[in-house]
Amino acid sequence: MPEQSWHEIVRNVLKRHNVSLVTYVPDNVLRPLIDGVHADPFFTAFACTREEEALGINAGAWMGGTRGILLMQTSGFATLPNVLASLSVPFQIPTLMMVSERGTLGEFNIGQSLVARTMRPVLDALAIEHHTMTRLDEAQFIVDRSITQAVATRAPVCFILSPLLTGGKVFAK
Amino acid sequence: MASLLNHPVSRDQAKVMNRFDITKRLVDLLHQDEAVIGGIGYTNFDLWAASSGPNGRRQQNFYMLGSMGLAVPIALGVALAQPVRKVFALEGDGSILMQLGSLSTVAARAQKNLCVVIMDNGAYQITGGQMTMTGQGADVVGIARASGLAQSAWAADEEAFAELIRLALKEDGPWLIGCRIDAGKPVDTTERDPSRIRDNFMRGLGVKG
Ligand SMILES: Cc1ncc(C[n+]2csc(CCOP(=O)(O)OP(=O)(O)O)c2C)c(N)n1
């Protein structure tokens, strides 16, 4: 059997956990995952105008009985601290987040490299569980176990997709 | 939609009403199982106040304690998850101006079971009454229409408000109702206990957390 790509692994784990709503503000690295969920009728997938908005939609959906995940870029995560601190964490809503990591391992845009430095300190300050995914052979375990934990403990979780896993975005000369 | 033609075309033609009074009218028109999301600011205080009755407080309400601007997204999420339940978002003008993109998302989803009610006092009332842009020319109903929400209307007065709510309860949305309101203080203060609010709301929707 040919080895599965990271986005096929993620898509399959989401299905297994009945995470059927996928909201996102797009990013190039996320494209195969976004295309994959759009192509699969199991998922309801759509772009939102802001990451905060997408987080709110997923929070409402979860309270209504539907599990969702929010896909975004590092710069998008940087718009979320207020709503994580005032909605997800205090209301005990298991906000699932997947961030395509820009700003490191060959970044060409200084703005991306600066904003990326705010991500882990924000997650740590709010004591939000986060995992940096670097290896294909760990991808399934990390996402599978962490979704179980997020739901069981009613806490957000953030998956950071390292360029080591995805290849990242390469500088176009 | 022809029924919307008799509503005022712009904000300045709508009667200035009272937030508690129209929130109470809304709650009284609900059957029982509709979900209502109260945005940050005094909107959710008056929802809290209007929702207490002889049999306790209605359970299908969610009260935001922060996350300014997210009443419409949260309501959209509930509406997506429970397509047979009618869902109302009550939001202030200052708050909706912060998340105008959410109106186009609602329009793009064509979310049938969703109704947005904007409490437009032209001010950030809870933070001291500073002017918002709706007091300076922005028309939220016009913005909503231009965002793709064709079924958007100003409530001419209390009677027209009730008529619009009845319409939203009966017919497919998405709906947006603009309400001009006065600077009256809210009647009560929401209890700030987020996990309890969330738990109550989910039980009210029949969802196990
Ligand atoms: C992101 C963010 N910015 C600012 C605030 C401070 N704040 C809380 S309520 C509010 C005003 C809300 O105005 P509006 O939605 O018009 O409601 P009203 O107070 O008039 O009922 C502001 C500015 C906040 N909580 N969050």
CB contact under 8 A, B62 and A58: no
Task: Work out the pLDDT band at B2, boundaries 50, 70, 90.
Answer: very low
Task: Work out the pLDDT band at B3, boundaries 50, 70, 90.
Answer: low
β-strands B123-124, B130-131: how paired? Answer: antiparallel
**Beta bridge partners of residue B124, listed in sequence order:** B130
β-strands A67-73, A19-24: how paired? Answer: parallel
Note whether A155 and A124 are within 8 A (CB): no
CB B45 near ligand 1, within 6 Å? no
Note whether A57 and B73 are within 8 A (CB): yes
Tokens 């437009």 appear where?
A: B120
If contacts are CB pairs under 8 Å, which of residues 75-104 in chain B contact chain A?
75-82, 85, 99, 101-102, 104
Q: For chain B, what percent of residues have pLDDT higher than 70? A: 98
Torsion of the alpha carbons at B99, B104, B108 and B113, rounded to the nearest 10: 70
Closest chain B residue by Cα to residue A45: B109
Q: Cα(B158)–Cα(B171) distance, rounded to whole angstroms?
A: 20
User: Which atom of ligand 1 is closest in space to residue B42's alpha carbon?
Assistant: 21
Closest chain A residue by Cα to residue B200: A63
Name the CATH superfamily housing domain A6-163: Thiamin diphosphate (ThDP)-binding fold, Pyr/PP domains (3.40.50.970)
Task: Work out the pLDDT band at B9, boundaries 50, 70, 90.
Answer: confident
Instruction: Using a CB–CB cutoff of 8 Å, tell me whether A151 touches chain B.
Output: no
What digits encode the pLDDT tens for the residues A57-107? 999 999 999 999 999 999 999 999 999 999 999 999 999 999 999 999 999
Task: Give the domain ranges of chain A.
Answer: 6-163
Q: Cα(B20)–Cα(B185) distance, rounded to whole angstroms?
A: 9
pTM above 0.90, yes or no: yes
Ligand 1 center from residue B127 Cα (angstroms): 7
pLDDT at B209: 73
CATH of domain B2-204: 3.40.50.970
Assess whether pLDDT exceeds 90 at residue A50. Answer: yes
Which residues in chain B are closer than 8 Å to A55, comparing Cβ atoms? Answer: 70, 73
- Rounded to the nearest integer, the mean pLDDT of chain B is 96
Cα three-residue angle B13-B9-B99, rounded to 5 degrees: 95
Residue nearest (by alpha carbon) to ligand 1 atom 5: B68
Q: Which residues contact A109 (CB under 8 A, 6 or more apart)?
A: A102
Task: Work out the pLDDT band at A170, boundaries 50, 70, 90.
Answer: confident
Assess whether pLDDT exceeds 80 at residue B5. Answer: no
**Alpha-carbon distance values, A136 to A17, A72, A80, A88, B6 (Å):** 19, 20, 28, 29, 61
Which residues in chain A are closer than 8 Å to B80, comparing Cβ atoms? Answer: 21, 44, 57, 60-61, 64, 66
Q: Quick check: bond before A32 cis, omega within 30? A: no
> Which residue among B64, B69, B77 sits closest to A64, beta carbon to beta carbon?
B77
pLDDT at A173: 61
CB contact under 8 A, A56 and B77: yes
- Rounded to the nearest integer, the mean pLDDT of chain A is 96
